[in-house]
Amino acid sequence: EAGITRPRGYNVSFHCNPDMEQHHFGQTHPMKPWRLTLSKSLIYSYGMSFAMDNYISRAATYEELASFHSTDYLDFLGTVLPEPIPRDLENQNPDLKFNLGGSDCPLFEGLYDYCSLSAGGALDAARKITSKQSDIAVAWGGGLHHAKKAEASGFCYINDIVIAVLELLRYYPRVLYIDIDVHHGDGVEEAFFSTDRVMTVSFHKYDPNNFFPGTGALEDNGPKSEHNPGAHHAVNVPLNDGITDEQYGWLFDKVIGQIVDKFRPGAIALQCGADSLAGDRLGRFNLQVQGHGACVEYCRKMNLPLILFGGGGYTPRNVARAWTYETSIAIGCQDKLDPLLPPHAPWRDHFRHETLFPTLEQILGEPRQNRNTQKRLTEIVQHVTEQLRFVEA
Ligand code: VJV
Ligand code: CA
Ligand code: ZN
């Protein structure tokens, strides 16, 4: 704690709400909102709250949610009751309204509050950026990138990212959205398909038949209809199992470097889904905390207003490690952290069974076989270079 000081002339704001973290998707559902509590307690144990402006985020209003979502959908979301259907029947239920109530997007107690708190945190973060009170705003409770205008999808009900980016667009001519969750950021991509003011970039595991959501091929760059200004403004980086820190860092640098040079964004929104880490319950990559965090460091060095969103992440201890490390990068104190996790914290038991002296950066999990070749990665970079010829500076 002694070493962590507030950076001069540089403001980081941290947005969370403990009420959001209390919700449950169901006993064995992979999405566990308490991972946010675990992350926060690790962040606070390192003393980082003294180096940030900490805010309890408010719930987004109906009108704010309606800046993206349809009122039909919001009205239904506001009135549905928790799970009326027995668990073994719900999967076969063919007519789920707005895709709500299946096993991916179950109806649970307080669902509407959970959603509006997630969006409220993201919006508060965006407003701290646009009012110039923050240089980096952190909203780990956001990042729910699959939600559509009138549909829930992949554990996501309300697309807090789209709502926050719409707020940024009131002040910045162009916004760059980057998504390092292991899944394709389809909801954000689709929301901005017809504008040239947002460029979306998603890195993800791509296997159309075997990995959710199945979209995000290299060649899918926005509808190429004749008068669509948004054509060429969706960048997709489809990857195979087992990608390493070295390969991912090389790609991120090449892809984002070119895009920033050409697109010249006024702000960056970075979705930091932690399911791209090795050992994730749903993920397939081999990223370490350092490799995942290197993406945050790269964006910070661009010296543009930056929002950090959460997202996926299904091995809670690893999620807490990554988001703690990334909060320290936002502050700029990553070199001052003790590599050993702080002792005597209430969450210590969660890490205790891993090893006697758990560390911040060492995550557990068998590495997967790397199925990404340098040849393919080079092809991806070349495709992006060619795609960017169609993008006006
Ligand atoms: O693959 C799918 C869809 C199915 C239908 C539903 N069954 C359960 C799984 C196959 C086709 N959905 C994905 C959704 C992933 C969402 C990722 C979200 C994010 O990280 O990008 C952003 C927050 C999927 N993969 C794994 C599961 N669903 C899954 C869902 C469960 C489950 C186990 C796995 C739901 C309930 C329970 N177990 C009890
Ligand atoms: Ca992604
Ligand atoms: Zn994900």
Mind listing the pLDDT tens digit of every residue in the chain (393 residues)? Answer: 457 998 888 899 999 999 999 999 999 999 999 999 999 999 999 999 999 999 999 999 999 999 999 999 999 999 987 765 555 544 555 568 999 999 999 999 999 999 999 999 999 999 999 999 999 999 999 999 999 999 999 999 999 999 999 999 999 999 999 999 999 999 999 999 999 999 999 999 999 999 999 999 999 999 888 789 999 999 999 999 999 999 999 999 999 999 999 999 999 999 999 999 999 999 999 999 999 999 999 999 999 999 999 999 999 999 999 999 999 999 999 999 999 999 877 677 788 778 888 899 999 888 899 999 999 999 999 999 999 999 987
Report how far residue 224's alpha carbon sits from residue 34's, in angstroms, rounded to the nearest whole number: 42
- Token digits of residue 177: 């959205």
Ligand 1 centroid distance, CA of 154 (Å):
6
- Token digits of residue 88: 């073994």
Pairing outcome for strands 306-309 and 198-205:
unpaired
Residue 375, judged by CB atoms within 10 A of its CB (0-12, 13-18, 19+), counts as exposed
Q: What does the pLDDT read at residue 83?
A: 62
Q: What separation in angstroms does the CA of 125 have from each of 69, 93, 106, 188, 300? A: 19, 38, 27, 17, 16
Ligand 1 centroid distance, CA of 133 (Å):
37
Number of the ligand 1 atom closest to the C-alpha atom of 211: 1
First to last CA, the chain: 44
Global pTM value: 0.96
- Calculate Rg over the CA atoms of the chain: 20
Ligand 3 centroid distance, CA of 264 (Å):
27
Report residues whose beta carbon is within 6 angstroms of any ligand 1 atom.
26, 28-30, 103-104, 144-146, 154-156, 181, 183, 212, 273, 275, 282, 311-312
Q: Given ligand 1 and candidates 28, 99, 103, 156, which is best to mutate, with the most ligand atoms within 8 Å of its CB?
A: 103
Report how far residue 293's alpha carbon sits from residue 323's, in angstroms, rounded to the nearest whole number: 8
- Is the separation of the CB atoms in 33 and 22 below 8 Å? yes
- The rounded Cα 94 to chain-centroid distance in angstroms is 30
Q: Given ligand 1 and candidates 23, 35, 104, which is best to mutate, with the most ligand atoms within 8 Å of its CB?
A: 104
